[in-house]
Structure 1
Amino acid sequence: MDWMFEDFRTDLDLLDPIIKEKALDIANQLMKQGKLTEKEAITEAIKRAEEWFYDLEG
């Protein structure tokens, strides 16, 4: 089951679409691990997705 993260729509809507998609993928993976709350997962996912994107950009 993929998580929808409806309560975090504002945080996600501010992201570039590429970063947003990556953040949702990461957040879903983190939630499947079951170690983080939704808030912690989406916060960590946004951070990781932004780092991933900036690494791609050089």
Structure 2
Amino acid sequence: MPWSPIDYLTCLNNFDPLLRKKTIEIANALLENSYKDNRVIPIAISQAKD
């Protein structure tokens, strides 16, 4: 299920809005490439912080 700036996981609540947006973009791209849901968020957060 893709996420949006309005509909996202609660673990992203305390993120800066720009970091949250980038994390959501990366997570959605990973989902499109058939990554498993449980791996998407940690990978997206790590990449967005870089």
| Root mean square deviation, CA, Å | 2.1
Shift of 1:23: 0.3
TM-score by length of 1: 0.68
Structure 2 unmatched ranges of 5 or more: none
User: How much identity, in percent, do the aligned residues show?
Assistant: 27
Question: Between Structure 1 and Structure 2, how many residues are aligned?
Answer: 48
TM-score normalised to the size of structure 2? 0.77
**When you count helix as a share of all residues, which structure comes out higher?**
1
Identify unmatched segments of 5+ residues in structure 1: 52-58
Could you list the runs of 4 or more consecutive aligned residues of structure 1 that deviate by over 3 angstroms after TM superposition? none
